[in-house]
Amino acid sequence: MIFFLMALLLHIDIVSTAIDSQYCSEKVTIVHIVVCLKQVPDTTEVKIDRKTNTLIREGVPSIANPFDLNAVEAALVLKEKYGATVTVISMGPPQAKEALRRAIAMGADQAILLSDRSFAGADTLATSYTLAQAILKLQDAGGVDLVLCGKQAIDGDTAQVGPGIATRLNLTQLTYVSKIESVDADGKHITVERKLENGVEIVRGNLPALLTVVKEIYKPRYASLPCLIESLAYEPVVWNAKQISADSSQIGLEGSPTWVETIFSPPLREGGVILNPGDENYDKEFSGLIDTVKKIVAEERSKLVCS
């Protein structure tokens, strides 16, 4: 019994030191988190302009990119844990303030809109440059420990802007993050789970880092009514090209080497075959199916041998 109690006490002691080191240590861990958020057309209603190969945005409702809201939520969870400040930034036209207000309603501390006519027509290269310039400005003003992005935007689906920012700012790049395991007490490392096609990878990286997150990380919270009402009147800070010291050759259309040759919907995958053991020709069809599969496997195999 006594042993048990001692063990318990010891355990509590260990836990409390852990908490101490997380919350009360001299070394500060996460102080400032920047989340990049994009306003996108609701892709359930998207149409393509056949002449220009661009998305028709007229009349299509805009929403905050869903993966970015997962990133906002992740930032807010870290904020609650470490008392960090959360800044949300977006590049876009003035209407994008709407998406930023959503993050404010959820609990972000401030929102900055990067808006300038010269930003228009940016591809992922120019966009990552513009966002990186803004983050640089925030870094200069007092540091940025963590940048969070959604894994990709649902309109372009490129997943390039997050990595682009990481590269430009020389941040540790951790993509497809499904869980933030821990932040080291010394504030120098972060451990995350990455959701990959063939499994989960646990990675420890240096801070400051840039994470792109998948939706499994956290479900965006439903804002409380007072926060929502407050956010409706919130005016995001607007920074133009000059205010982020942007090089005019690297922003907007001019800084965008990408052009779209063509755009199309991928062909629908054909439905599979369903065979019922009770069916009349079941045996015949089944053996036919096996033959087909064998043939495909043989073909693929011969390709492998040849190469």
Partner 1 sequence: MNRIEFDVVVVGAGPAGITAAYLLAKEGLKVALIERGEFPGAKNVMGGQFYSYPMRDIIPEFWEAAPLERAVSEKQLWLLSRESKIGFSYKNPQFGAPPYNAFTVLRAKFDRWYAEKARQAGVVIIPETLVTGIIKKGTQVIGVKTGRENGEIYADVVVAADGVNSLLSKYAGLHGEIESRNVALAVKEIIELPQGVIEDRFQLEKGQGVTIEFMGEFLKGMVGTGFIYTNKTTLSVGIGCLLSDWVDNGVSPYDLIEDLKSHPVVRPLLQKGTVKEYLAHLIPEGGYRSLPPLYTDGMLVTGDAAMLVNGLHQEGSNLAIMSGKFAAETILEARKAGDYSARTLGAYKKKLDESFVIKDLKKYSNAMPLLENNRHFFSTYPRLLSDAADEFIRVDGVPKKKKQRMILKGIFKRRGIIGIIKDALSAWRIVK
Interface residues with partner 1 (CB under 8 A) are 59, 61, 63, 222-226, 228-229, 232
By C-beta, is 63 or 275 nearer to partner 1? 63
Give me the least distance between CB of 38 and partner 1, in Å please.
17
Give me the least distance between CB of 298 and partner 1, in Å please.
42
By C-beta, is 219 or 284 nearer to partner 1? 219
Give me the least distance between CB of 201 and partner 1, in Å please.
35
Give me the least distance between CB of 95 and partner 1, in Å please.
11
* Pairing assessment for the beta strands 189-196 and 237-239 based on DSSP bridges: unpaired
C-beta separation of 130 from 251 below 8 A: yes
By C-beta, is 136 or 228 nearer to partner 1? 228
Give me the least distance between CB of 229 and partner 1, in Å please.
6
By C-beta, is 63 or 207 nearer to partner 1? 63
C-beta separation of 102 from 216 below 8 A: no
- Report the Cα 270 to chain-centroid distance in Å: 31
By C-beta, is 203 or 223 nearer to partner 1? 223
Give me the least distance between CB of 228 and partner 1, in Å please.
6
By C-beta, is 233 or 306 nearer to partner 1? 233
By C-beta, is 225 or 260 nearer to partner 1? 225
Please give, one letter per residue, the 3-state secondary structure of the chain: CHHHHHHHHHHHHHHHHHHHHHHCCCCCCCCEEEEECCEEECHHHCEEECCCCEEECCCCCEEECHHHHHHHHHHHHHHHHHCCEEEEEEECCHHHHHHHHHHHHHCCCEEEEECCHHHCCCCHHHHHHHHHHHHHHHHHHHCCCEEEEECCCCCCCCCCHHHHHHHHHCCEEEEEEEEEEEECCCCCEEEEEEEECCEEEEEEEECCEEEEECCCCCCCCCCCHHHHHHHHCCCCEEECCHHHCCCCCCCCCCCCCCCCCCCCCCCCCCCCCCCCCCCCCHHHHHHHHHHHHHHHHHHHHHHHHHC
Give me the least distance between CB of 33 and partner 1, in Å please.
23
